[in-house]
Amino acid sequence: MSYGDQYNKKIMDFFHKKTFSNKLSSRNALQATLTHNSCADKAFVQVVLGNDGLVQELHFDVNGCIVAVACANIFAEFALGKSAKELQAIEESVLIENEFGKAFQNSRRDCALLGSRCFTLCLKGRLQK
């Protein structure tokens, strides 16, 4: 991707989405924080699983670059309503790359996966990745 592609309409639309911006108040919410090793961008995730084991509610708060925020929203949209088993089967980078039709450069790939990695951390023990 060139730097222009990185900020195309689709990415910017996902960046601006507020669907998952409300913090969850449920006592059952699992939560995790993950910091990107090299750039110190941070993701905070909350997840509520239903009795059926499906992802019922989600909150993402990514303090980071546009790619990190946009891709966290992409992943969140995908994860909502899925079971741990379904999420386990998905390769997040493929999911995100399919969404854009192009691969991110290596340095941005880690940004793109920050949210989904935080999500995996949040469900540690329930999601065997």
Partner 1 sequence: MRKHFQSVKNKFNNSIVLFDNASTVQLPDVTIQAMTDFYYNENFPANGASYRLSEQSMAKIARCKEKVLQFLGTDDSRYQVIFCRNASDSVQAIANCFESRGEKLGDFFITNLEHNSVYKALRRLGRNKWMALVQLDVLNSSSQELLQKCEQGLEAAFLTMGSNIVGPVWDSDFKDLQACINNLILANTLVVIDSCQVIGHKKIDLNYLNPDMLFFSAHKFGGPNGIGALVVKNSCQFLPELKERLDVGSNAVAQIIGLEATIDFYNQNVDFQAIEQNTKTLVDSLVAFLKGFDFVELVTGRAGQVGQGSIVSFIPKGIPLHDFSWVLAENGVLTRSGTMCAELACKSLKIDGCVRISLFGYNNNDDLELFYKAFVKTVEFFKGKL
Residues binding partner 1 (CB under 8 A): 3, 6-7, 12, 39-41, 63-66, 69, 111
Between the alpha carbon of residue 90 and those of residues 44, 76, 97, 118, 128, the distances in Å are 21, 13, 12, 15, 12
Cβ proximity to partner 1, 29 vs 111, nearer residue: 111
Cβ proximity to partner 1, 40 vs 89, nearer residue: 40
State how far the Cα of 75 lies from the Cα of 96, in Å rounded to an integer.
7
- For the bound state, the minimum distance from the C-beta of residue 69 to partner 1, rounded and expressed in Å, comes to 8
- For the bound state, the minimum distance from the C-beta of residue 13 to partner 1, rounded and expressed in Å, comes to 11
Cβ proximity to partner 1, 12 vs 94, nearer residue: 12
- For the bound state, the minimum distance from the C-beta of residue 67 to partner 1, rounded and expressed in Å, comes to 8
